[in-house]
Amino acid sequence: MTKHVWTRRDFLSRSALLVVAAGGSGTLLAACSQTDPGGTTPEGDASALERLIEQGYVRVGFANEAPYGYADAAGLLTGEAPEVARAVFERLGVGELQGVLTEFGSLIPGLQARRFDVIAAGMFIRPERCAEILFSEPDYEALTAFLVPEGNPMGILAYEDITSTGARLGVLAGAVEGGYAESLGVPADQVVTFNDPPSSFEGLEAGRVDAVSLTSISLRNLLETREGAPFEVTEPFTPIIDGEPQTGAGGYGFHQDDEELRDAFNTELAALKEGGELASIIEPFGFTEAEVADTTTAELCEA
């Protein structure tokens, strides 16, 4: 797996449509903004899965967040979520993934507008999101952490420390960490929103923020791709809001009308888990076997 991670600006500076060879099969990456009219409306009586099998590809929305879903230096769609989705859809008879690059906060609106068929971006399954789209069963669980200067001079280990120290916190647009911060009392004027992880890292590097909050997996990846950077990842933890642990488990998003497709996806995802293949797919992206999810979507949607 390459150590180079493109920013959204890097990716969009290329041609709007890239076709690259990957293991003998083409992987299509299409750049897409929130206002792109590229969505299509299903027609006829064929099921969503039947349509995907017939057309030979599935469009997946991703947000260029390594290691969950991103374009590598060659323009190839990869990451934990696309690679798991690729394995599942191959089992379902759909041989190709087309990646649609979208800012994280636009993934759910893009799916609702059918600009793509599935969200494959490591998106946490949260009750408010369950009201908008269907989720697969989760495939991984991750803890929260902060990226801070070496030595952690402000002693930031929890969101409450952001408030008490007056630190400025970087979060991603549309990601759960901004909600955690708000629920735990971090003043809005101490929160700075970024479009993607590389931008948040640059904000920390430039002193615009004092810490960045993401999953520990994402933050480890940021450091690994920037060898020698004077930062460190704090001890991972599970935020507790109103006495309830906020389990961070990610899955795949489907349009509310595509329940049959979601169910077929779940069947093959379960087979990958039971056979041990899921762990081998996600391991190269920094996930351990302990981070394979053991909770359910029903539990996460009701949390």
| pLDDT at residue 27 greater than cutoff 60 | no
Residue 187 lies in a domain: yes
Same domain membership, residue 37 and residue 174: no
Report the C-alpha gap between 269 and 271 in whole angstroms.
Answer: 5
Residue 13 lies in a domain: yes
Per-residue pLDDT at 299: 94
- 149 — pLDDT class (breaks 50, 70, 90): very high
Same domain membership, residue 18 and residue 109: yes
Residue 68 lies in a domain: yes
Residue 302 lies in a domain: no
Residue 275 lies in a domain: yes
Per-residue pLDDT at 15: 30
Q: Name the 3-class secondary structure at 227.
A: coil
Q: Which residues contact 181 (CB under 8 A, 6 or more apart)?
A: 159, 162, 169, 171, 191, 213
* Closest C-alpha among 154, 137, 99 to residue 254: 137
Residue 301 lies in a domain: no
Residue 40 lies in a domain: yes
Same domain membership, residue 179 and residue 122: no
> What tokens were used for 86?
């690729």
Same domain membership, residue 14 and residue 131: yes
Same domain membership, residue 255 and residue 149: no
- 13 — pLDDT class (breaks 50, 70, 90): very low
Same domain membership, residue 122 and residue 18: yes
Same domain membership, residue 91 and residue 69: yes
Same domain membership, residue 86 and residue 17: yes
Asked if 262 contacts 138 with a C-beta cutoff of 8 angstroms, the reply is no
Which has more pLDDT, 47 or 13?
47
| pLDDT at residue 2 greater than cutoff 50 | no
| 0.85 surpassed by pTM | no
Same domain membership, residue 97 and residue 149: no
CATH of the domain at 222: 3.40.190.10
User: What is the span of the domain harbouring residue 161?
Assistant: 144-245
Residue 120 lies in a domain: yes
Tens of pLDDT, residue by residue over 150-184, are 999 999 999 999 999 999 999 999 889 999 999 99
Same domain membership, residue 154 and residue 50: no
Same domain membership, residue 85 and residue 232: no
Per mean pLDDT, which range of 27-36, 84-93, 285-294 is the poorest?
27-36
Helix or strand run (H / E) with residue 198? helix 197-205
Tens of pLDDT, residue by residue over 255-295, are 999 999 999 999 999 999 999 999 999 999 988 887 888 89
Number of domains in the chain: 2
Give, in order, the Cα–Cα distances in Å from 107 to each of 101, 118, 244, 285.
Answer: 9, 9, 27, 22
Which has more pLDDT, 116 or 224?
116
Tens of pLDDT, residue by residue over 192-219, are 999 988 999 999 999 999 999 999 998 9
Same domain membership, residue 72 and residue 33: yes
* Closest C-alpha among 162, 171, 146, 5 to residue 74: 5
